[in-house]
């Protein structure tokens, strides 16, 4: 089940992560650690993901978020944190949705 909450219904991702862990789910958290130029979410924004691909929160939008979720599921499996970078210098900038000139760094780690 994938979460698609309206903005007024968005829950605190950290509280969601805590609840999911209490339920026995394997969870990763993605945190925006740096932005430059045009970026949809500020540094400090969080996205939590469980092993089934359920998520809450946001670190960007569009394909960037999809890529972060896929990477987070690998982090859950492997246990090794990853630093992800998306931006206009990347030849895939258009594909991941940062064609407007921004760059973001997202740190993904497993919780628990």
**pTM of structure:** 0.81
Instruction: Report the C-alpha gap between 50 and 59 in whole angstroms.
Output: 15
Q: What would the pLDDT profile of 28-72 be if each residue is shown by its tens digit?
A: 999 999 998 878 889 999 999 999 999 999 998 778 899 999 999
Contacts of 45 (CB under 8 A, 6+ apart): 31, 32, 57, 58, 59
Instruction: Report the C-alpha gap between 102 and 21 in whole angstroms.
Output: 33
Q: Which residue has the tokens 């939008």?
A: 61
Instruction: Report the C-alpha gap between 96 and 94 in whole angstroms.
Output: 6
CB distance 56 to 69 below 8 Å: no
What are the sequence ranges of the domains in the chain? 9-107
Percent of the chain with pLDDT over 70: 79
């Amino acid at each position: 089940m994938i979460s698609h909450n309206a903005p007024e219904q968005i829950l605190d991702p950290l509280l969601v992560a805590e609840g999911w862990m209490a339920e026995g789910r394997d969870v990763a958290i993605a945190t925006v650690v740096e932005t430059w130029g045009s970026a949809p979410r500020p540094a400090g924004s969080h996205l939590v993901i469980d092993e089934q691909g359920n998520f809450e929160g946001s670190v960007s939008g569009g394909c960037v978020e999809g890529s972060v979720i896929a990477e987070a599921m690998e982090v859950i499996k492997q246990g090794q944190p990853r630093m992800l970078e998306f931006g206009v210098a990347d030849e895939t900038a258009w594909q991941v949705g940062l064609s407007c000139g921004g760059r973001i760094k997202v740190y993904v780690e497993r919780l628990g």
